[in-house]
Amino acid sequence: MTLRSEIQEKQYDAMKKGDAERLSIMRLLNSAIKNEEIELRRDLNDEEAQAVVGRQVKQLKDALKDFEAGGRKDLMDKTQKEIEILEEYLPEQMSDEKLEEIVGKIIEQMSAGPQDVGKVMGAVMKEVKGQADGNKVREIVSKKLN
In terms of Cα–Cα distance, which of 136, 108, 138 is closest to 122?
138
Sign of CA dihedral 71, 74, 75, 76: positive
Residues 12-59 pLDDT 10s? 999 999 999 999 999 999 999 999 999 999 999 998 999 999 999 999
Nearest to 140 by CA among 120, 126, 115: 120
- From the candidate CATH numbers 1.10.1510.10, 3.40.1170.20, 1.10.8.60, 3.40.50.12280, the one assigned to the domain spanning 3-87: 1.10.1510.10
Q: From CA 50, how far away is CA 4, in angstroms rounded?
A: 9
pLDDT digits (tens, 9 = 90+) for 85-94: 999 999 888 8
Domain ranges in the chain?
3-87, 96-145
Can you name the CATH fold of 96-145? Answer: Arc Repressor Mutant, subunit A (1.10.10)
Give the C-alpha separation, 35 to 39, whole Å: 6
pLDDT score of 6 more than 90: yes
Length of the chain: 146
Would you state the pLDDT for residue 113? Answer: 83
What's residue 21's pLDDT? 92
Is the per-residue pLDDT at 145 higher than 90? Answer: no
Give the per-residue pLDDT at 65: 93
pLDDT in tens, 115-142: 888 899 999 998 888 788 888 899 999 8
- Mark out the alpha helices in 18-95 (DSSP H runs): 20-40, 46-70, 73-87
Which residues, other chains included, contact 64 with Cβ-Cβ below 8 Å and sequence gap of 6+?
A: 76, 79, 80, 83
How far is Cα 106 from Cα 117, in angstroms, rounded to an integer? 11
For 72-90, what is the mean pLDDT?
94
Query: Among 26, 35, 21, 19, which residue's Cα sits nearest to residue 3?
Result: 26
In this predicted structure, what is the pLDDT of residue 112? 84
Average pLDDT over residues 70-90: 94
Residue range 8-15: mean pLDDT, rounded:
95
